[in-house]
Each structure stands twice: as structure tokens, then as C-alpha cells.
Structure 1
């Protein structure tokens, strides 16, 4: 029996603690993590409160880790498991939740140990109070090691209110059709809540890159990308990740480009073209890779590299390239800090001289629908740091007609768009905004707006949108990773 590892006092605490977990509670537990312990009930409590906060002595956690290390072969184990532990005023403890989706036997044993360990309650105004604290067990060099994990409560604070310039209101009739799930670094193994780059490969594996490391997610389990399975440290700053048409993974980190395929990881050496860094890695429809840089657009064509900048193409408004896109008509669109051009064969069109929504704007994103209509997100070249009515989204239809949507002439809540996704399953356009949350547009007349004040979204800043082969949408936000999935029968 596991409790036999403890002395008599600790065994008594274990039995009493387990009994306490079954007592009826005044209020339901405030679980931080997705894997909740059903039998663990608790009274009202505060999270990470007190001076000192509730804690378990490090020697006890070391003892627990030592017992686990003697029972399990952990040579190839990676990552960590975090537990939320409820500690009442008398020091009795019960694990409320954890972040191990596999619910492994090892995790079950750790829960038993944590329930039975001697704990010190939190002290508030000189009196012991009920609270919850976190314990993290990390797998390092073939063993497991535990310690108290203190949360940054400032990051847990609500993000504030979204900015909605459009005051017409939203019915949001489709909102009820979606199931929202949010992961953060507090309820999952995410390395950080903020990710400005993610990608989904052909097996529906989500690659989630942050400035504090990268992880993969296959729908239930997070798989950290670390020095054990990649060239990157577990806390490496990963700036860009992209999947090409052949399912190769391209990663930009440490001012270098890495390729990952069936042969493993390799450094893709053309640093001389990327001396000022990569803004984005982009896919071309014809299989080329496009690297947006401040020194021009670097195009990789099989084994050749071509650079498009002011020197090689004087018509380019600036060598500071923000975005590039190849549409179904094989037209190359290049957005720069001083305007946008389009290359169609040998014909180069500069939009700074034409009366279209692209005049004096930079395209920052592009998607197409089945009809061949192309949607662009816009940035005002003259006021790049300020939201203006020149921004929003522009559309060039398959017949060459231009449309422009902003918060004045449409149902857009604001004009600063960070990302776009054309939903090929529902045939709608999704927009991720900088300060207004998520926008759903049916391409004709219906606009919906979801954010932290009217939906389960954890915030209002959306960095990137991706969709897998089953129609599930993932949104990287300033407050965690969100999965948006259509409800069965909806």
C-alpha cells in the first residue's frame, strides 16, 4: 500500500484528508485545470492567497519524488504535471484538479501522496484560511522532481473590456452552436499564454510557438518541443512556425531557419538573405516558400533563392516587406511598409496610384473563398500605429470589383485585423482583431462578434487562426489557446 511509505503521523493525515474530500461543500471547487477530481469537494476558498501562502515542505516533496522514481522508469519522460491542491484551515489537503489529460497511474499515485502530505495552511490577517496552491512535478534527466509552483496572479486578472467602435449591436445567433475550450499555462503544459505563430500539419497536429518555448497538441495531449527532441531549448524563443505543402515544418528561431521532416531536424542555411530577420514565413500556392523581411521578399524555389527588393524591382514601394500572397490566378501580392503592389506575369501594378481600398495601405493578410474572391486585411501606411477607417478588410471579387469593409460602413467592431480564416466548412470568414475579439462574417450581410464580455473567449486580442481537416478552429490569443468546435447537430 502506498501509504506504508509514510510514517504514522502522515498515514493518519492521508486517511483524514481523503475522508475530508467527501464532505459536502458550501460552494463548488474553483478548478484551475481541465482534469477535475470528481470526489474532491471543498468549502469556499481563495486561490494563491495568504502571507505566507499554503505550502508543503520541500523535503516532503523530495521524498514523494524519490518514491515515484523508484517505482517508474522515467528515462524518456518529458514535460511536467501540475496539481491544484486545496488546503483547509487545519492543513488537510485534497487535489482538486491537474493538467494530465492521460490520467496516468503515475498521476494517480502523486494525487494520493499529495492528499496525504503534511501541509501548512495559508495565513490571512494572522489567521489560517482555506486556499488552493499549485505543485508542479517536472521530468528532468530521467527522473521526476517536485516543487511548489507560484502563479503570477497579474496574468490571471481579467484582460479588461474589448474596444467596440461599432455601436449597432450584435445578435450573435451562431454563438450557441460552438463549444469553446481554453488552455493556458496554468491549466495545461502550454509554455506561455501568448502565441503569435501556430500551424497545423497534415495529421492535424497543432504546432504552438511562443517566446518561451514550443509545444505540439494533437487534441488531447501536449507534447513539448525541447532539447530532447529538437535543436531548441524548452524555453527557446520561437518566432515563426509554418507547414508547407509537403508537410515539412519550418521554424524560425535564433535568427536561423530550421527544417523538420522525416529525416529529422536540419538547419536551412541562407542566413545571408535574412540579415535583418524574418517577419513572417508564408506559403505560396505553387509550392514556393516566402520569407517576409525588412530587406525584401526572399523566395525559395526548390534549391534556388530569389530576393525581391527595391534594388531588384524599383517598383516595390519599400524593401520592408510585411506580407506576401499568391492567389489562385498566380498573382503575387506584396505588402510593404509604404504600400502594396501586385505582380501578374510581367505586369506590375502599384496600388498607391490607383483609387482602390489598397491605396497607401499595406496588406497584412489574405485568404480566398471558393469563388476566387480575395480578402485582404489592411494597415494604413501613413498612420501604422493608429487604427483608421482606411484599414479593415478589402475584397477584390473574381470579376475585379473592389469592396471595403470597416467599422463605419459594415458590421466590423473595429478596423485592426490581426488574422483571417476562410472557413471552408461553413463558408464564412473569421477575423481575429487586435482589440475586439473574434468576428464571424457570412460574406453578405451578417456580422457576429465574440469576446470575453459576451462569450467564453478568455480575451479580445486574437493573434492567429488555424483550422484542421475536421473543421475545428484554433485561435491563439493574448490569454491562451482557444479551440472553437461546432456542437454535434448544430
Structure 2
């Protein structure tokens, strides 16, 4: 018998035995929907684009995608990102149908106007124009060969990313539902059988086919690979060992079955037009899920963390999460102060101003002042014999046994009526902690121990009898921990290693270690080595109660929830901040009625005989079963959702991004895609190239950096889920902040080159300046030498000649002649002094007061008086020249006349000075003996006159020509340019 034949046989001919089965089921205890399912919902008020959710899908990167009639939504556990016609040009219709994705392929999205491909943050649309047979798509499935199978109203097509192909079913079968199996094949339900598509082949199942109505709307698998089929009115469960059919009205109080899901535990979730139902076993009865009421359920999906996602028709998106805590109905509004379990198994719960409750097997018995309690505020509880209970209140002590209640107050010997803690000892006696000491009730009398007996304080809190060999009584006080051993009391404080002096809770583990909770100072432990403070930021600082479970974990309650931590990991890590004992925190997301797990009385938490842990909270009790914890061991996928530089979005690609220089502010937005408890996800990040260590970000989902130096960076982020499981691979993005042009290598090399060139230029200018100054000094020395030669030297020569003559005259007793020569010598000396003074004035840059023609005329007159007939002829238009220029010409004329008189023995000299428009010409001719110009320079004989004349001519850029022969005398010709500005520059 084939698959569909079995289905329709069940639907048509099994009414009798199904009725019998239902009757039998009604006689047995029906299974209950788990009461620890947490529920959360989102609608348009929370960011959903529209409240009709046709499908919920988890993509391979971890995002939850929601198909609605108002567009597409992507959910990261905190907020929605909407894609619709307004925000995304590729989307031309907001009516979204369904999703499909292979393990490594893009996300495919079906709309009422074609097929969408989403990859790397971009959408691409395919329509009839690209080969799609019709735009009316009803479902999608991803095959293991990379193809996408598209179920439309016209049949099935496949798409490889380039072309569409039509898939034909045998015998003209009309497909009605498709699904991807765990092995990657696609199963197809039709009106004539079930088919399997694998690697391009359509294979009918061995069950064959039969002609049936086109009414199968859904097909799927259980974890054991068995099959289920869904129509609008029935469900067929087809397993190898047993099969069953459920139908509406008879099994489900609804008008239509709209969705179906077999979860990872094999439970069947049934979405109907009148709510959600759960079938935990094939032969059990479906139970309604009360959290969703009568909402019309359109879609169901289980994510990687086993959360159940529910899409409704009018109420948006829902999620059902398995929670580790549950509450007790009827006690959810009471602020619980103390909890304990009586010897008969009943749980007693004290409250603040609402009396005492006894809970057993779901039944609650309430006690208050009307039933005999001295007060309705309960501060302490301790079990007595035979199910009795000791009850401490602010107004005295009660003993409850059955319906009888006995009261003890300070009138009976109590040190104080306000009872803070109670402890029934092994011998049946009772220890009572009060504000005025510790009372011991034994043999119907009270004995009080106070600070005078060694207690740390008269204000007594938590009490604990140790099971260690010494059986010490530990007493928590306001000022340290006291130990009663025999009749001796010893008190320990922070000086002895405790983390704090105000003791709030005590517990002893199975290994004999004493755990001490304090107020504001965290946890301490006492071992054989003494007290050790455990100063850790990941544990609560004020601990109201401590319990140990059978798995070696400590449970710590505080105002921030309940924390579970391994004893061995905690002992190993101690107070080290680099060691992580992986504590797990629980709060409202885990089923607690409130995170304020604090009780003002003792004990504020209790471990029952069944191993359950009960905790007092401000809104009832929180109960957990440590042996059946639902632990989230799936490392959360993490994505970087946005990267901005100065508010500008940077593309999120796998390649390194180049950031333009000048960006000052960088922001990274990231999200861990864990949906069990998104608010409890913790993050840490590091920017390689900038940070030295990881930054613990807590629940913050954005990281900021400013003024990053130009270099290569890699931002990495990791996340831990609600149970502390870290995704150490995390997500990362690499980028390069480009340096500005003035910090690039070519610019630095250019600057270095320019600096070197500037240094070289300065060096050369410096050398040139030194050379110029040296040349100036040398020229000045040469000029001074010429001045001395032409003035003082000439005068000294004249004086020397005169003195020789005087010596000869005196030798011949010619006194008159000698006297005349002395007078002439005096004249030479005066002339020499005058010339020396003139040279000194020239050295001091004092210009001569006379013009060049006047000075030459004076010079000619002087030589004429010395029997050298000198004729001076001046022609042209006179104009004043610079003083250095005229001085050089005058010195040349002076040297020429001196040479004519002293060396050529001339008697006549003709001197011509002519001013032309652009030059000055000086010509001096004598009738002396002359000399041969081809002979070696006179300076070689120690005479430097002619050389000095040439140097002076060169100084004023003049041309000096000397023509001489032994028979024709000597002619000195000087041509000096007097173009405007040149002569002014001489010696400047």
C-alpha cells in the first residue's frame, strides 16, 4: 500500500478505532504542554512591517527573516530592518511568500511579483521576463545541487542563477507542496504521489502513486526521517512503527490546519485557525498552548537554538522559548521572605505582610494572624518534627503543628521578639537569631549568647550547622562570622581573610568547604587553608542565599537575579581576572518572575528532597530543576551590521576597505544572533593595530574609535550567549586608513630631497659668501699695497734720494746745497704725509672733495715743478663719476707720471683725458728712454708699478695698453667704460 493510499484510508475508514483511541486517551492522564515555555511577541508597534506573518526563516548567517504582506523584515533579536518598495528598489511587491537557501548559497525570496536573490547586502529580481513561468510563487526549496526549486501555480521550475528550467512530474502529476529533506534532496507532494528530486532526477517513491484530490498543503519530516503530510483539515503521521491521522473538529477544535512543524525533540506543533497545539507523542492527545490563545497560526519554525517561532495572521511574530525557571500559580504576586521544606515534603513559604503558605502537590494552605500567627510578616522558618514548622516573625516565635500554633515571646525568655533566623539542630533543639543575641531553646528554656560571650555582633543573621567532624555552628553577624565549637565562640573578620564583615548567607558543599556570602563584598570560601576572598566582577556583590546542586554548582541569589557557577572552576580561578569560571546568570528571560531574587528572611532559598531549587523573589518563588537544565551550547553567530567613518557608511565586504585620510570618527555596529535571551548576550572586541587587549563591552552593540593614525587595522568582535558560550571565531572587518599626502613615502622623500637641496644651496651660498669676503679682503689688501706703493713708497724713495744727496753734499762740505736739499726733503716728507693721510681717508671710505680733472691738473702742476714738463689736455663733457672709479684712474695717471720721471728720465709728458658718451679715455705719453715690453715683467725685479696699474684697470673694468720702445718713449692708454650704473658699482 502506497503512502497516499494509507493516508486516505486513515481519513475515510478509521473513524471507529480512532473514536476508541480517543476514549482510551480520555481515561489516561493527558500530557501537559511544558509550563516553562517563555513567550514574547512583536508587532507593528515593535517595528514589524505588518502583522500577517506568512513564513519565518533563519538564514545561514543566523538572521531571522519574516515574510509579511507589508514587506520583508530581518531580525537580529533586538530590532528589525525593513525591506519594502519604499526602501528597496528591487522589491516591486510587498507581499512576501517564502524563503529558501542552500548551505553556501544566497537567500532566495518569493514575492507576488517575482523571485528575489539576496547576497552581500544587495537584492536582484527575476521575473517572467527572465524566464520565470509565472509570478505567483507558493513555495521554495533549495536542492543539494545548488538549484532552487520554485513551486508556482503552473508547476515546478528550477533556477541555477542564470536560467529557469521546467521540472515535469510523471503521469502529469500536479505538485502541491515541496520541502528540503535533511540529505539535501527535495520532496514533492502531488495529487498522484510523492516524488523525490535529487541531482536533476525526479524519482517516484516506491509507494507508487494514486489518483487523489489536490489537497496536500504541507509535507515534512520528523528527526527520525519519518514523514508527515498536512491538508487543510487533517494531519497524517507516517512512521514505520505506527501511524496516525488527526483531523479538525474531532482532534483539534479549529476550522483549518494552516501550519505544521516537527521539532528537534520529535514533538509536533500544529498551527490552526484557533491557536497552537502540541503533540508530544504520536498516540497522545494534542494540547493547546495557552500562551498564544486563539490566534490564527500561519507559520512555524524552530531555530538553531531550539526556539519556536510562530507567525500569526493578525498578531505579528511570536516566540516560545524553553525556560529553566517556573513559578507557582497563586504565589506569583507575593513578596516571599523565607522558604523551607517540612519533613512531610510540604513547602512552606513566608511572605512580607501576607502570612504563611503551605504548598504541597499544587494545594495551598494559608496561615495568618486569624489562624493564630503572631504576625503576618514572616522572617524565618525552620522545619520541626512530623511536618511541624518553626516560624519567626517581628513579634515573636510561632510553632505550627497541624492546626495548633504556639507562640513564644520575650516574656518567655527570648532576648528579643524580632526573630531573624532559625535553625533546628540535630538534637532537636532550636537556635534563634535575634537583634539582641543568639538564643538556644532546649529543654523548654532559652539560653542567650551575646557579644559579651564572643559573638561578632548581637545582630544575628544566617545560621549553619556544619557536617564536618567538628560539627561547628556558624553564625553570621553584622560584624563578622562567629564559630561556636563546644562552649567556645571565635569570630572571624576581614583581618582573617573574609571579603566582608556583614554576613548575609552561609552554605556548606559536599566537599566540606564553607561558602560565605556578604553584603557588598562578594563571596568568600573557607577551606582547610583558611578563608579566601573571591573578589570577582562577574559574581554578585551582595549574596542573599547560596545553594549547591548535585552537579557541583553553586547557585547565588541577589537583587540582579540568580547566578550559577561551578565550584571547581571557581576554586581554580579564585580572584584572577584572567580566568573565567563561566558563571551563568538567570533572570526574567529564563522564567523568573523578577530578577529581584532577594528575601529579607532566612532561609531565602531551599533545596528540596527532590533536588529542586526554590528561590524567594519579590514576586513569588522561582523554581528550577538543576538536573534538567536547558543549556544553550550553540555559540551565537555574530555579524557586523554597519561600519561608518564620520557618519558615512563603508561597504561590508570580505576585502580590506580603504578609508580616505582625514576621517576622525569610526563606529562599528554588531549583533550576536542569539534569540534565547538577546539581552543577556555579552560582547568583547579588539581593534588590531590599535588596542593592546580585548575590550569587555557587556551588552553594548556598538564600538567607537576616534583619530586613528594611518595604518592597517582589523576590527574583531566576539560574543557569548546567555549560558556564557563564546563564539571565539566572531566577525571581523579589515580596513586601511590612508595617510594624507604629506605623510606618504613619496612626499617624505620629496621633502628630504628638498631639504638636502636647500642644505646644499645654503652651504654653497655660505662658501660663496666666504669666498666673496675673502676676495674683498684680498682686493682691499691689494689696493692698500698699491696705495702704499704709489704714495708712501714713492715719497720714501724721494726722501731716500734726497738724503743720499745731502750726505754727499755734507761730505764735500757743501752746506748750502745740503741745506737746499734738506728743504726739498721736507717738501717730500710733507707730500708723503699728505698722500698717507689721503690713503687713510680712502680706507675710511671718505671721498675726495676734488674732481678727477682738478686732481689731474694738480698732479701735472706738481710734476712740472719737478722739471718734468707735463701738459694736460681735457676734452669732452665732464660728468661726475663714482669716487672709487676716479681714484683708480687718478692712481694710474699718478703711477704713469712717476714712472716717466723716475725710470724713463723723461723731460716732457703729454696727458690727454677725454670724456665720451660711454667711455673715458686717458692717454699719457712721455719722451723718455722707454723699455722693451717683450722682456719679463718688471715685477719680477721687485717693481710692482705696472702690475698695480693693470690691477687698477681691471678693478674698474678698463682696458690698459702700454706701448714702449727704447728709442720712442712710452705711451699708456686707458679706456674705461662709463655706462650708467657700472662705475657706481665699482668697489661697492
Q: Tell me the TM-score range normalised by the shorter chain.
A: 0.5 to 0.7
What is the correspondence of 1:346-365 to structure 2 with a 5 Å cutoff?
346-352=487-493, 354-357=495-498, 361-365=501-505
On the 8 A contact 1:294/1:320 being kept in 2, the answer is yes
Distance 1:401 1:317, change over 3 A: closer
The alpha carbon displacement at 1:454 in A equals 4.7
Partner of 1:440: 565
Partner of 1:483: 623
- Give me the whole-angstrom Cα distance separating, in 1, the residues matched to 2:295 and 2:545: 43
Please say if 1:417 is aligned against 2:417: no
- Give me the whole-angstrom Cα distance separating, in 2, the residues matched to 1:476 and 1:416: 15
- Give me the whole-angstrom Cα distance separating, in 2, the residues matched to 1:276 and 1:266: 14
- Give me the whole-angstrom Cα distance separating, in 2, the residues matched to 1:436 and 1:226: 29
Please say if 1:180 is aligned against 2:314: no
Partner of 1:325: 464
The alpha carbon displacement at 1:484 in A equals 0.7
On the 8 A contact 2:421/2:434 being kept in 1, the answer is yes
Question: How many pairs align?
Answer: 312
Please say if 1:344 is aligned against 2:485: yes
Provide, for residues 357-413 of structure 1, a one-character-per-residue CA deviation record: whole Å limited to 9, x for no partner: 16x61322211122221111123xxxxxxx3xxx2121111x2432222324xx42x
Please say if 1:396 is aligned against 2:521: no
On the 8 A contact 1:23/1:42 being kept in 2, the answer is no
The alpha carbon displacement at 1:472 in A equals 1.4
The alpha carbon displacement at 1:22 in A equals 5.9
- Give me the whole-angstrom Cα distance separating, in 1, the residues matched to 2:480 and 2:530: 20
- Give me the whole-angstrom Cα distance separating, in 2, the residues matched to 1:269 and 1:465: 26
Instruction: Name which of 381, 401, 411 aligns with 1:241.
Output: 381
Please say if 1:215 is aligned against 2:357: yes
- Give me the whole-angstrom Cα distance separating, in 1, the residues matched to 2:346 and 2:440: 26
On the 8 A contact 1:429/1:443 being kept in 2, the answer is no
- 3-state DSSP class of the match of 1:417? coil
Please say if 1:292 is aligned against 2:433: yes
On the 8 A contact 1:191/1:215 being kept in 2, the answer is no
Distance 1:489 1:440, change over 3 A: closer
- Give me the whole-angstrom Cα distance separating, in 1, the residues matched to 2:613 and 2:332: 20
Q: Which has the higher contact order (CA 8 A, sep 6+)?
A: 1
On the 8 A contact 2:356/2:367 being kept in 1, the answer is yes
On the 8 A contact 1:419/1:462 being kept in 2, the answer is no
- 3-state DSSP class of the match of 1:215? strand
On the 8 A contact 1:22/1:41 being kept in 2, the answer is no
On the 8 A contact 1:421/1:430 being kept in 2, the answer is yes
- Give me the whole-angstrom Cα distance separating, in 2, the residues matched to 1:199 and 1:237: 16
- 3-state DSSP class of the match of 1:483? strand
Instruction: Name which of 583, 588, 592 aligns with 1:457.
Output: 592
- Give me the whole-angstrom Cα distance separating, in 1, the residues matched to 2:390 and 2:293: 46
On the 8 A contact 1:320/1:337 being kept in 2, the answer is yes
TM-score using structure 2 length: 0.29
Please say if 1:260 is aligned against 2:400: yes
The alpha carbon displacement at 1:192 in A equals 3.7
- Give me the whole-angstrom Cα distance separating, in 2, the residues matched to 1:196 and 1:462: 10
The alpha carbon displacement at 1:432 in A equals 0.8
The alpha carbon displacement at 1:306 in A equals 0.7
TM-score using structure 1 length: 0.55
Partner of 1:474: 614
Structure 2 gap segments, 5+ residues each: 1-252, 257-271, 277-286, 297-313, 315-320, 571-580, 599-603, 631-988
Partner of 1:85: none
Distance 1:352 1:428, change over 3 A: closer
- Give me the whole-angstrom Cα distance separating, in 2, the residues matched to 1:395 and 1:438: 17
The alpha carbon displacement at 1:475 in A equals 1.6
Please say if 1:368 is aligned against 2:508: yes
Distance 1:373 1:442, change over 3 A: closer
Please say if 1:427 is aligned against 2:569: no
- 3-state DSSP class of the match of 2:441? strand
Distance 1:488 1:292, change over 3 A: closer
- Give me the whole-angstrom Cα distance separating, in 1, the residues matched to 2:337 and 2:434: 17
- Give me the whole-angstrom Cα distance separating, in 1, the residues matched to 2:348 and 2:288: 26
Distance 1:258 1:177, change over 3 A: same
Distance 1:269 1:295, change over 3 A: closer
Provide, for residues 229-274 of structure 1, a one-character-per-residue CA deviation record: whole Å limited to 9, x for no partner: x3249x9333333213664301234612111225832223554424
Q: Over alpha carbons, which structure has the higher Rg?
A: 2
Distance 1:356 1:177, change over 3 A: farther
Instruction: Name which of 256, 277, 284 aligns with 2:418.
Output: 277
Partner of 1:205: 346
- 3-state DSSP class of the match of 1:317? coil
Distance 1:270 1:191, change over 3 A: farther
On the 8 A contact 2:596/2:618 being kept in 1, the answer is yes
Provide, for residues 39-98 of structure 1, a one-character-per-residue CA deviation record: whole Å limited to 9, x for no partner: 995469xxxxxxxxxxxxxxxxxxxxxxxxxxxxxxxxxxxxxxxxxxxxxxxxxxxxxx
Partner of 1:162: none
- Give me the whole-angstrom Cα distance separating, in 2, the residues matched to 1:434 and 1:484: 18
Structure 1 gap segments, 5+ residues each: 1-20, 30-34, 45-129, 131-175, 380-386
What is the correspondence of 1:66-105 to structure 2 with a 5 Å cutoff?
none
- Give me the whole-angstrom Cα distance separating, in 2, the residues matched to 1:355 and 1:426: 30
On the 8 A contact 1:198/1:207 being kept in 2, the answer is yes
- 3-state DSSP class of the match of 2:451? coil
